Amino acid sequence: MGQTANPSRTKPGEARAKLRMLRGSPQKLNLVAQLIRGMRVDRALNELEFSKKAMARPVRELLKSAVANAENNHNLDIDNLVVAEAFVGKNLVMKRFATRARGRSTRILKPFAEITIVVREVKEAA
């Protein structure tokens, strides 16, 4: 009597990749996620390549990972992939203290975020 396998969370024709413990606020990460939602993968990679946002670099690497998952694990055609979903969540928040004048201190919050990217294969309209 073994444990039954968990059902896959990805639907047919989809692949996903997740990045956890990304050092930076979810608010800043969501700005980059909004930039690529609904785009074709090649265009999204181009946008992230030339974006001035610091969060664009790890999101670009994650998108490449999702494309590799689609190609190798799900046998999807990478030319027909679209960023179906890109959602951001909160993660750990490190709390630190900075010393201030008169023996006081100030709290410094160092947030972490996580992002999940789902790519979906779309059929070309004839």
Question: pLDDT tens across 41-85, in order?
Answer: 999 999 999 999 999 999 999 999 999 999 999 999 999 999 999
Domain ranges, ordered by start, for the chain:
14-121
Are the beta carbons of 82 and 119 closer than 8 angstroms?
yes
Q: What is the reported pTM?
A: 0.88
pLDDT at 125: 54
CATH of 14-121, one of 3.20.20.80, 3.90.470.10, 3.40.50.720, 3.40.50.1580: 3.90.470.10
Q: Which residue type is seen at 15?
A: A
Q: What is the distance between the alpha carbons of residues 118 and 120, in angstroms, rounded to a whole number? A: 7
* Six-digit token string for 58: 């790890």
**End-to-end Cα, the chain, rounded Å:** 50
